[in-house]
Amino acid sequence: MTPPLAIVQILSGTWSLINNTSLRNGTILPGYSLPTGANPAGLIHYSATGYMSANIMDTNATNRPTRISWPPKDTDSDSDWALVGRHAMSYSGPYSVEVWNETHGTLTHGPLVYAATPSMVGTNQKRNYTLYEDGDVLKLNFHNYTAKTEGTLFWRRLAPSWEHSYSE
């Protein structure tokens, strides 16, 4: 089902993570206990053609060893790569929208085509959403039934990274 054009236009673009909070049994979990740390960085992108990509990583230097590089070298340690992977989350695929009203609804990311965590490939990740500040702030809520946690992520729309200048 094609979502209403208005919500696609609002979602389309790239958003930067501004806050990530998780709760267990109604108690806020300390940020340092989360896989992506107390001050994660992330981007989420929604295309006008129905695809999305999400990437979040821990910014704590102890979980981001600088002695590894891309492409990996034979001298890079597997434990360093494992540390980076343990503290990052990435996935992409199609998305769909169930609109409740002008500012609320459900986003379904998936079925995921790519995920850094192999068991997520093919799954659907449901997120209830709320839009604030005239559609420039996006709040996503989710439940992790395995970890028995719920989370809230706030994202701010990014301005284009370049100025369009077309001349005839």
Domain tally, the chain: 1
Q: Phi, psi at residue 85, to the nearest 5°?
A: -65, -35
Confidence category of residue 77, pLDDT binned at 50, 70, 90:
very high
pLDDT exceeds 60 at position 164: no
Sorted by sequence, the CB contacts under 8 Å of residue 98 that are 6+ apart come out as: 105, 106, 108
26-61 confidence digits (pLDDT tens): 888 877 667 887 889 999 999 999 999 999 999 999
The pair of three-digit structure tokens given for residue 4, joined into one six-digit string: 């209403």
Is 167 domain-assigned?
no
Is 37 domain-assigned?
yes
Is 121 domain-assigned?
yes
Is 96 domain-assigned?
yes
Range of the domain at 140: 5-157
What sign for the dihedral angle of Cα 55, 59, 116, 32?
Answer: negative
* 133 Rama sector, left if φ>0, alpha if ψ -120 to 50, beta otherwise: left
Among 30, 91, 27, CA closest to 56: 91
Identify the pLDDT of residue 82: 94
100-152 confidence digits (pLDDT tens): 999 999 999 999 999 999 999 999 999 999 999 999 999 999 988 888 889 99
**63 within 8 A of 84, measured Cβ to Cβ:** yes
Is 163 domain-assigned?
no
CATH classification of the domain holding 114: 2.40.128
